[in-house]
Copies of this chain bind each other. A is one copy, B any other.
């Protein structure tokens, strides 16, 4: 019998990445197409389906493919739709019946979810959370996303939008404005952009020495802060402590909610390693109820970052 595979697709604002994945989480072959050359979703879905077939048929066969998993912004898992995705040229305010349309074209089941949920599934299927039934995935990138696994399943909630943990309120007075329209959200502090914002604030409000002052304030990135911390810069280290303290306090509240076995951190900020991990773990254990103290594992994702989006989306297809 031929080996079964799945296709994982990660749709972003500029490109859509496509990969053929085996049951062990190896990306056997991959490609990408541009995703911003049309404002007609039917055209995009046709292009995408053609690209999938072309990729698979090159060395493998569509008969081996069990299903297609798609990670996309504003994806609704229950309905298989993309709704109000203003960051996609073919998105806008409309409701796109994505799974249905693509399934028709490609003759396979198509499942959709958002990126952070896909990352959680990927981690459970191929990564550090293999065998776990209760964990929380936190993605620390431009924003802060989350995918919550409860009893082996993604928590979708009533409207399929559960797991917006980047938008719990961490600062209740004079909090930073968040992209979502609220103030004081976790995302406004603990995303990569939040770290850069903290750096600018700390530089502006003190005269302390820091090699970060060699960079124009508006250009500072979380990567710069990491580089500075590695060179022993005290202010840079303090920025990570501030960030980790807040993230750990947030995680303590998440633990009170779903009592996970582990929390898995993923995304750009995790490259800062111990600079972020140490304060996160300390703050989690300081802020959590005594019964959970030192009992919750905090882990970095083990998925290769370049493959993670495809792997996460592909994990959805095994569940078809």
Which residues of A are interface residues toward B (Cβ below 8 A)? 133-134, 148, 150-151, 153, 155-165, 167-169, 172, 180-182, 249, 252-254, 256-261, 287, 289-292, 295
Contacts and interface: CB of A to CB of B under 8 A. Distances in A.
Nearest to A178: B289
A82 B94 CA distance: 52
Contact of A159 (B169, B182, B249, B259): B259
A143 to B, nearest CB: 13
B254 A257 contact: yes
B155 A150 contact: yes
A259 B133 contact: no
A194 to B, nearest CB: 17
A253 B155 contact: no
B164 A256 contact: yes
Contacts of A162: 257-259
B259 A257 contact: no
**Which 5 pairs show the lowest CB-CB distances between chains A and B?**
A157-B259, A162-B259, A158-B261, A168-B253, A134-B158
28 contacts: A133-B158, A148-B257, A148-B258, A150-B150, A150-B157, A151-B153, A151-B155, A155-B257, A156-B259, A157-B260, A161-B291, A161-B292, A163-B256, A164-B257, A167-B289, A168-B253, A168-B257, A169-B252, A169-B287, A172-B249, A180-B289, A180-B290, A181-B290, A182-B287, A182-B290, A254-B257, A257-B257, A257-B258
Contacts of A172: 249
Nearest to A287: B169
A181 B259 CA distance: 18
